[in-house]
Amino acid sequence: MHFKSLLDLFKEDNWSNKLVGRITEILELAAAMFAHTSAVIVDGAPDTDPQVNIYDRDQRINKLERKIRRRVVSRLSVGNDARDVPSALIFMNVVKDGERLGDYIKNLHEVAEMMPENPDRELYRKWLAGSTAAITGLFQTTRDGFVGSDEALAGQVIKTAKAAGREMETAIRDITDSDLATRDAVCLVLVLRFYKRLVAHMSNIATTVVMPLDLIDFYDEPED
């Protein structure tokens, strides 16, 4: 049986297009949460109004997730078109990954509260600035690739996420082998672990654009 890509499916039906706006909002909310939290951790920006900047946004993501799931279930319950099933499965996968983005950014915000009172900012920039910039770019590319069903952008997300994940794992090993102060080492490793999960979930979202339905979340680029 041939499983079609997201682009194929969106060409065939209109109901799923109505949910793209909600997925877009989820990604934009997560990106805003990440921008706030990473600025606090890496640059020492003030953690102003975390209720609004983190927790209210996460609650909105959770609300959107529930709305999308209800809409999908409702469509499948009252409809009799088998062509709706692939789109429904795609949205269930994407909204799961979108919700997890919010969760991991909340975890990052908790790490910020664990950091030393006066951390060495140059130390945190050394280990985190590159990965932070990569994730910031991935949020935009993931959003654009999904909304536009752009296979080139989605492929770029997958490739970048895989490379970034490897770099983060290398950094984690280097930190654990270093003589950094325990508190700094723990915080840096936790941040990088959560960063790895963020790029993995964005890669999963991108697979819905470039991979057939049966391979969503299982993309693995061949080695050069």
Residue 213: pLDDT band by 50, 70, 90 thresholds? low
CATH number for the domain spanning 55: value is: 1.20.58.220
The whole-number average pLDDT for the span 142-154 is 92
Could you tell me if residue 37 is inside a domain?
yes
Rounded distance, CA 67 to CA 70, Å? Answer: 5
Decide if pLDDT at 48 tops 90: yes
The answer to whether residue 96 is domain-embedded is: yes
Question: Across residues 82-101, what is the average pLDDT?
Answer: 82
Mean pLDDT for the chain overall: 87
> Does residue 221 lie in a domain region?
no
Rounded to whole angstroms, how far apart are CA atoms 56 and 77?
Answer: 31
According to the model, what pLDDT value does residue 87 have?
A: 74
Which one is predicted more confidently, 190 or 13?
190
Asked if residue 139 lies in contact with residue 34, where contact means CB atoms within 8 angstroms, the answer is: yes
The reply to whether 220 falls in a domain is no
* The two structure tokens encoding residue 14: 């209109």
From CA 24, how far away is CA 118, in angstroms rounded? 37
Q: What is the pLDDT of residue 72?
A: 85
Number of domains the chain contains: 1
The dihedral through the CA atoms of 122, 126, 131, 134 has a sign that is positive
User: For residue 156, what are the domain limits?
Assistant: 6-215
Environment class of residue 119 by beta-carbon count within 10 Å: exposed (0-12), middle (13-18) or buried (19+)? middle
Distance CA 105, CA 100 (A): 9
Instruction: For residues 174-186, give the mean pLDDT.
Output: 97
In three-state secondary structure terms, 219 is coil
CB atoms within 10 A of CB 185: 17
Please give the model's pTM, rounded to 2 decimal places.
Answer: 0.87
Q: What is the mean pLDDT of residues 195-214?
A: 87
40 belongs to a structural domain:
yes
In a domain, 1, yes or no: no
Residue with tokens 């060409």: 11
Least confident of 79-83, 86-90, 179-183: 79-83
